[in-house]
Structure 1
């Protein structure tokens, strides 16, 4: 059950007594085996506030992989789940450097903290008084106000919004009304202003016609968000941005050449980053790196030299896909550790692996896809290609 923070909780956590309790409980192991002893120790340190202190310590530990300086942050479980990872928030903020910016759904301040570093003037607002109090702690010195995102309290600033997803939406393809506030309402209220809206990667471009640019962003191989840019902020129609925790970054847009063809397999198979695939920029990515497609409707690329900094698959053998033939192929190569990648075919990788029962000392990747109307298999070895 999610702990419900109150304003009194925030006031305690930001007091000297709260800080001492957090420091003391921060040293506890907080494992299943130590639970009883940890709760007893927390009660000695924080008394009746032990529950909120323990919850905050646990949330800070979860936040370490997502937020910079997480050890000092205050957050709720729901707010942390929705918060942008710091590298993603930092990338978005960089495009707003030197501008006046108003984060109209600032929550606990994950985006606001990065915006405040680069904006000429920065304002945050939210309707939730608890999250706003946490943002005041997390983003000291930033102007904050309690306000409805659909009732403007600034005039000329760039508007940044991160609408919450409705709990009952239950879908991967999202509609404007599945968000709070609804996407189309945000667009209507802020028509004529530069607007930036973070939303789910599954958003359909057709349901947000007001978005002049849709940017898909991934971090360490996981697609994190679609960012909708409206007004003068948009510079292209489609963009994919790939971020790494080590600080490396690259981007590709629909303005790049896409003149590649589908042809016979090369020495390597390349599975483009998910942001590239979701942004519909596979052909542009292939053209940039001298690759071509196996099939014009499938996102796998192939070539004789893989791009730098990716995990690519060197082809050992390939041919029509039949389970019997694949089983024999694995036996011949003595493959016991098997990764199965599928695109364009109705195949369950886990169920297939159980049926194949691979045995042996070797490790391999099987890529299953469709070329034309025919299912095809590639037996490969996966390799991490060094950065350029």
Structure 2
């Protein structure tokens, strides 16, 4: 759960004395092994009263440095740091709101607010938590974001004519993740009722059940660096006409490509080709495997499984060149790996009840070569594909 910041903590951290203490704390090792020494140093730097706040802030800044731009000057809480949108994802989402008036009704410490303020016509943020709101004010100021801030309950509208941006809390008081829309804070259904008829962008967990948001105009599943980061529910004018599902893949500088359900899904089932392609997780989560396959002239190994195959993989992806394949049998696979001298093995599984880690131990492989084995079901047949992973 992390340290419980108070308004007095935030006031100190924003002061010149607090700034000096934070700069000094940033030089500490801040490692598990150095914890006792770090605590003692923080007490010398900031005094007994504010040592924990200074140390926690220094740790959170370092932990999120690769995720949030400019975080070396921000104030954060543990929960806010965990839920905050990565800056490149926040900028992508904000880009769809360019030129609009936007109200972030769950602004927390301001991660999304700062991205939106850079492109919106006017921008306001609100939160029910006064401490986080004070942190948001600080973070917006050091980031040069021009925003209005006020304390308000997200379920009690205080603005008109704005696009409503929301990021409901997805953890309980013990830090456990919550997945059901009705368990979020605020619940998705209540949020929709409070802003019925308004344009909205609601950030949700990537495992969102699309059936739980029948009011969505478009659901966009976004991935970054190979990890699915969020599902954004677009309502009203910000939603793309004719599109109900979208998968967007981001790189460090922004969008690399996107695919939607408005495209053709003419993707046949076929025999394995020269390559197997494991589509990006955003494509799989958005249910757009067939659309992605049709775009690139690929087919499915099985209509119920997300693996694609073909003789020419899409450019820029990590694909798997098929070396051998056949009905899966652990004994046969072990013999094949030994014959090829495979000692480093990546195991990919879909559609079969196989634990990759347990299988790797059972295979007891050794040798100088590396390979990938794709294990899946084709029809009712467990099938193994021995491959070499390549970036094409």
1:270 is the counterpart of 2:277: yes
1:301 is the counterpart of 2:308: yes
Distance 1:297 1:176 in 2: 27
Q: Which of 341, 347, 359 is residue 340 of structure 1 equivalent to?
A: 347
Q: How does 1:110-259 map to 2 (within 5 A)?
A: 110-140=111-141, 141-167=146-172, 174-235=179-240, 236-259=243-266
Query: Is this contact kept in 1: 2:29–2:38, CA < 8 A?
Result: yes
2:118 counterpart SS class: helix
1:289 is the counterpart of 2:296: yes
Query: Is this contact kept in 2: 1:173–1:204, CA < 8 A?
Result: no
Distance 2:175 2:275 in 1: 38
The count of aligned residue pairs is 385
- Structure 1 unaligned blocks of 5 or more: none
2:305 counterpart SS class: coil
Tell me the CA shift for residue 304 of structure 1: 0.8
- Counterpart residue number, 2:361: 354
User: For residues 261-315 of structure 1, what are the alpha-carbon distances to aligned partners after superposition, in whole Å with 9 as ceiling and x for unaligned?
Assistant: 0111010100000000010110111111111111111100011111111111100
Query: Is this contact kept in 1: 2:248–2:255, CA < 8 A?
Result: no
TM-score, normalised via structure 1 length: 0.96
- Counterpart residue number, 1:28: 28
Distance 2:201 2:111 in 1: 15
The runs of 4+ residues in structure 1 deviating greater than 4 Å are 168-173
Distance 1:174 1:54 in 2: 31
Change (3 A) 1:247 1:201: closer
- Structure 2 unaligned blocks of 5 or more: none
Tell me the CA shift for residue 39 of structure 1: 2.6
1:233 counterpart SS class: coil
Query: Is this contact kept in 1: 2:92–2:254, CA < 8 A?
Result: no
Change (3 A) 1:113 1:170: closer
- Counterpart residue number, 1:313: 320
TM-score, normalised via structure 2 length: 0.95
2:385 counterpart SS class: strand
1:2 counterpart SS class: coil
User: What is the RMSD computed on CA atoms of the aligned residues?
Assistant: 1.6
Change (3 A) 1:169 1:262: farther
